[in-house]
Structure 1
Amino acid sequence: MIRLLIVDDEPYTVDGLFEMLENTPQLELELYRAYSPEEAVEWMSRTKMDIVLSDIRMPGMTGLELQKWVVGQWPRCKIIFLTGIRELQTAQHAIRTGSVDYILKTEGDEAILRSIRKAMEELLEETRSDQFILQAKEQMHKALPLLHREWFNSLLDPGYPGGRSQSRMRELDIPLLYNEDLIPVIGRVDRWEERANSADHTLLLYAIQNIAAEFFETVVFFSVHLDTNHLVLLIQPRSSGDGSNEAKPVHSADARWRKTGSFVQGTLESVQETCLRLLKLPVSFISPAYPVTWSGLPRAYANMRHQLVLGLGTGVGMLMSVDPLDEVGSSDPLPPVRMMMDKLERLLNEGLEEPFIEYLQEVLARPGKFADYVQIYYSVAALLLAQFELVDPGTDGSQTDLEELFNLPIHHTSEQAHQCFLKVSSLILARRRELQDERTSQVISKLHQYICCHLDGDLSLTRLAEVVYLNPTYLSVLYKQSTGNNLSEYIARIRLEKAKELLETTPLKIHEIAEKVGFETAGYFTRFFKKRLNVTPQEFRGKG
């Protein structure tokens, strides 16, 4: 909702404009009042205003001085000046320095409404501006290294095919073709200088990528920075131009692939020598003896990483070519356990119970070896225990479930383990929902209590948000979601109930009651009261 602040040193002008705008249903505005420029500055120091409707001539600080302050604090704020004939030239000067509009005080309410609608349209237009798209593209470009890493990790997860599509690669500026096989190469910095810090590591890894890109410029080349020591190079030959979309067999004798494979081996040697000479870094590379399919990449990567860890000789400056299927067997490799746990944790944190259950079942069904199964089992158990502690620290209420969690032998099948995990995860999700409901209820209760005790004070959305330490806009949305009503409706209802009580039980005068329930003038209070009950406060008291 758009916030509008009315500023004038004449209270009747401020209150009149406030009431007029409040009773204009077509305008969805959150209204604020300031009876001096100083009060306006105080308001805008606390919260962002979208439109300021201000007199141009005020004591202490003129409208132009206020405008200069507003532009410095909230550059996107639109300013509308109310001016007399004598200040017309000043107002026209203000237009040239960035104000939205000016209105002669003699023009009336319709002119004010037109100007406000114009300002609202400009605000909405600015949010649709192309600059946000350009900014997003720039941010996307800066985030590409991280997105590339996520994309490559997704390729290693057979259960997540999302990264293996030409459209996704196009989005991420990846020049590879999904209908072509590829040659993956893993690179590793074998040893860093002792003085090098993590920032140096990152910079030097990018330098290695740039060196590799220079040497592999005659093929389709793409590299991904994986961690502080490793990178992966993905290589394809230039397109043959045959237009075929059919994947060629892994052991293809295609001349292009033989030529590319030979080129890769020789070029890796040059990259390795250049890194040692220019960067003083010993680098090892391992590549497959033949190209692999995209679906075969997880298995090839797992085997090459394993062979790189085993190493040869001193394990420094290695340049190896291995059978990508050797020692892997027929089963698909497991994606890194940490990656699986990260996905489970994300699904749990987002409260996505069904996707969590499905993925958990998939994770437990994957391992072909008992050692892998044990590792995954206890990784899931540790994850659930950590999540349980977050939502229910120090509790003994589910001690039996937690004991079962870390007792693998009692689960004779993976299905029994799955059921145990489901029981604990259901407890976590249920407790999290309870805590969310409790916290929301506490916020609403605190809000209601404050409103009832401060009917004659500041009950603006900004002030109420400060009371419960929330953003004003978020508070408005949260209240509506939780109660089904607008916060302003609740305040109006409590004010009306309190006013009726005071009219029935006290001899207070109408203007005194108006003040106690938060109205600046008796006239405004009377119109508010009659609009809701079809009788004036005096008539209501007379009926009693």
Structure 2
Amino acid sequence: MYRLLIVDDEPVIVNGLVELFSEPNHLDLEIYWAYSSLEAVERLTKTKMDIVLSDIRMPLKSGLELQKEIMLQWPRCKVIFLTGYNDFAHVQEAMRNGSVDYVLKTEGDEKLLETVERAIASLKKEVEIDHLIQEAKRHILRALPSLQQEFLWDLLQGDPYSLQTMLKQFSDLQIRLDADASVLLVLGRVDNWKQDISPSDRLRLLYAIQNIAEEYMSVSSSVFSIVYDRSKLVWLIQPQVQGNSSENYIEEAWKRTILFIHGMLELLQSTCKDLLNLPISFVAASEPVAWRGTAEKFEALKSVFSQGFGMSTELLLIENDLYHHDPLNTIVSNGQVRLHLKKLEFLKSYLENGRKIEFFELYLDFMNIITVYPSHADSLKMEIYYSLFSMFLSQLNRHGLQNEMHNKVDINKPDQLEHNSWDEVIAYFSNLAEFLFEHQVNELRVKGNEYITKVEGYIKQNVSGDLSLACIGEAVGLNPSYLSRLYKQVTGQGLSSLITEVRMMKAKAMLQDKKYKIHEISKHVGFVSDHHFYRFFKKAMNMTPQEYRESVN
């Protein structure tokens, strides 16, 4: 639906045009009107307009002056001027300002409708998908660095969608890494910050570390780095090789790159100490991994920083060195488990956003982790149980459902031992999820009905006033476009049908009372002219208002 604002200082012209465009036709328009340019300006400050049909010559503020204000407020708005033969100089000036068409006052209704239809076609063309894509690409270029980091971070979190779309995203986001090749991970950490350092200075120093590292590493490698947890960094590294290189050449390139990167870390560490006065620790993978394995490798290397010798400062470790200190390979195993447990974040997101199918697909996989890592079974069961219990309890508290929940599922089981088996635990949390998803559906239905009641009440109380979508939306606190969709979704009919129905009911009721004159009834039910009311009533009832009055009396 498009919004059309009609502006003229002569009420007869305004009313006639409102009547013309209110008639049923193929144009999908919501009609607004103003009897002066100042009234139009006030309307334009409150409501976005798509098309303005205006006279050029008006007192206080001309149509040309009004057009300049429209272009400032709503640059995509199309302005159509009603003009006389002696206004062409003004029209030419207006057309130089853009988005302008004109209709001679001597031309008929068909020409007006055709011109408005042309304006609608122009609006549609401007928002065609190709245009939007080009606009989006221009915006992406400006936001490219942050979009690149966000996508690579999602890969490191094991996001399935990011892995599926990696090839296309690398191209779209201009990430200079090969989506089909392996990648080497290096993690860094600033061990200590000065106590008085500001957040902005901290960011600048992290950026400096990235610059120094890239200067050293990019001599023979393609490198991307990401900052995380405020004081840590991860580098994603690949050798620079041609796409048609042989497997032997690529293998040799990897050997050179790994040796170079591992050797360069010591220099990078000392440079950051000397130039930035920052103690830095590094943990590097010994071998590259496929992109699907980066999340697991990332978690394994991350765990080094949070246990044992990883707590010391100015650490410099290569993954192979870890195995001498970790003969049972617990670091790698812990990385795998931590990655699997990250699925809890996706479960929480699905639960909060009502995505029931995705939730249960992931939930069953998540709960079967104990069969994948039997050596961790007891501790995993405990961690999973309390994590899920906390997640569900938070959702129940947020929605105030504790009392209602008692009637369906017992939430007084904060201990895993209160269940007889792990299968019973799986069923327990499944029931909690079912209850919450059911509540979300019911809540949406109730909220929708509440808004519908407000809308219908407002229309009945203001049948003689402004019943535009913008005004109704403001009254009930909803965006006009969303309000229109919501009303049709809940009731099955459009808002315009409701307004017509309410106006007709009110008009019929008043026509049964002889104390009201027909022109009074016309104004009372929101028509800008008696003629428009007559035509509207006759079309709906197949008789004029006077004939209806006579038939009921």
- The residue that corresponds to 1:376 in the other structure is 384
CA shift at 1:24, angstroms? Answer: 5.0
- Supply the distance in 1 between the matched residues of 2:433 and 2:473 (Cα, whole angstroms): 34
- Supply the distance in 1 between the matched residues of 2:354 and 2:40 (Cα, whole angstroms): 43
Moved more, 283-292 or 318-327: 318-327
- The residue that corresponds to 1:237 in the other structure is 239
C-alpha contact (below 8 Å) 2:239/2:253 kept by paired residues? yes
C-alpha contact (below 8 Å) 1:224/1:232 kept by paired residues? yes
- The residue that corresponds to 1:258 in the other structure is 255
**Which residue, out of 398, 407, 411, partners 2:406?**
398
- The residue that corresponds to 1:84 in the other structure is 84
- The residue that corresponds to 1:148 in the other structure is 149
**Which residue, out of 279, 289, 307, partners 1:282?**
279
Post-superposition Cα deviations, 1:293-321, rounded to whole Å, max 9, x if no partner, equal 44443443333222233354971111111
Moved more, 70-79 or 527-536: 70-79
Distance 1:10 1:328, change over 3 A: same
CA shift at 1:47, angstroms? Answer: 0.6
- The residue that corresponds to 1:504 in the other structure is 512
C-alpha contact (below 8 Å) 1:182/1:235 kept by paired residues? yes
Query: What code does the residue aligned with 1:222 have?
Result: F
CA shift at 1:41, angstroms? Answer: 1.6
SS in 2 for 1:412: coil
Structure 2 residues without counterparts, runs of 5 or longer? 324-328
- The residue that corresponds to 2:67 in the other structure is 67
- Supply the distance in 2 between the matched residues of 1:464 and 1:161 (Cα, whole angstroms): 41
Identity %: 37
Distance 1:407 1:139, change over 3 A: farther
CA shift at 1:134, angstroms? Answer: 4.5
Post-superposition Cα deviations, 1:40-97, rounded to whole Å, max 9, x if no partner, equal 1221111111111011122232222222222222222221111223333223322223
- The residue that corresponds to 1:196 in the other structure is 197
- Supply the distance in 2 between the matched residues of 1:386 and 1:429 (Cα, whole angstroms): 14
Greater share of helix residues, 1 or 2? 2
SS in 1 for 2:409: helix
**Which residue, out of 351, 355, 360, partners 1:357?**
360
Post-superposition Cα deviations, 1:127-155, rounded to whole Å, max 9, x if no partner, equal 23866435423443426435534534434
- Supply the distance in 2 between the matched residues of 1:525 and 1:43 (Cα, whole angstroms): 24
- For the pair 1:386 / 2:388, whether they are aligned, the reply is no
1:94-493 equivalence runs, <5 A: 94-128=94-128, 132-141=132-141, 142=143, 144-145=145-146, 148-157=149-158, 162=163, 165-217=166-218, 218-239=220-241, 243=245, 254-310=251-307, 312=309, 315-323=312-320, 326-328=329-331, 333-336=336-339, 339-367=342-370, 368=373, 369=376, 370-392=378-400, 395=403, 397-398=405-406, 401=409, 403-493=411-501
Distance 1:41 1:424, change over 3 A: same
Query: What code does the residue aligned with 2:505 have?
Result: E
C-alpha contact (below 8 Å) 1:149/1:226 kept by paired residues? no
User: TM-score, normalization: structure 1?
Assistant: 0.91
- Supply the distance in 2 between the matched residues of 1:37 and 1:25 (Cα, whole angstroms): 27
C-alpha contact (below 8 Å) 1:503/1:541 kept by paired residues? yes
- Supply the distance in 1 between the matched residues of 2:87 and 2:292 (Cα, whole angstroms): 75
CA shift at 1:492, angstroms? Answer: 0.5
Post-superposition Cα deviations, 1:381-432, rounded to whole Å, max 9, x if no partner, equal 1111111122225645427735345231122333221211121122212222
- Supply the distance in 2 between the matched residues of 1:403 and 1:531 (Cα, whole angstroms): 61
User: TM-score, normalization: structure 2?
Assistant: 0.89
- Supply the distance in 1 between the matched residues of 2:470 and 2:245 (Cα, whole angstroms): 62
SS in 2 for 1:15: helix
SS in 2 for 1:406: coil
- Supply the distance in 1 between the matched residues of 2:2 and 2:410 (Cα, whole angstroms): 50
Distance 1:444 1:161, change over 3 A: closer
Distance 1:114 1:337, change over 3 A: same
SS in 1 for 2:306: helix
Distance 1:512 1:26, change over 3 A: same
CA shift at 1:465, angstroms? Answer: 0.9
- Supply the distance in 2 between the matched residues of 1:61 and 1:241 (Cα, whole angstroms): 66
SS in 1 for 2:103: strand
Moved more, 268-277 or 5-14: 268-277
Moved more, 293-302 or 499-508: 293-302
Structure 1 residues without counterparts, runs of 5 or longer? none
- For the pair 1:520 / 2:528, whether they are aligned, the reply is yes
SS in 2 for 1:232: strand
1:48-59 equivalence runs, <5 A: 48-59=48-59
Query: What code does the residue aligned with 1:69 have?
Result: E
C-alpha contact (below 8 Å) 2:148/2:175 kept by paired residues? no
- Supply the distance in 2 between the matched residues of 1:163 and 1:366 (Cα, whole angstroms): 23
C-alpha contact (below 8 Å) 1:156/1:335 kept by paired residues? no
- Supply the distance in 1 between the matched residues of 2:94 and 2:206 (Cα, whole angstroms): 54
SS in 2 for 1:333: helix
C-alpha contact (below 8 Å) 1:391/1:432 kept by paired residues? no
CA shift at 1:257, angstroms? Answer: 3.2
Moved more, 474-483 or 201-210: 201-210
Distance 1:179 1:92, change over 3 A: closer
Query: What code does the residue aligned with 2:358 have?
Result: P
Distance 1:131 1:542, change over 3 A: closer
- Supply the distance in 2 between the matched residues of 1:65 and 1:414 (Cα, whole angstroms): 74
CA shift at 1:198, angstroms? Answer: 2.7
C-alpha contact (below 8 Å) 2:155/2:294 kept by paired residues? no
Distance 1:95 1:238, change over 3 A: closer
Distance 1:460 1:400, change over 3 A: closer
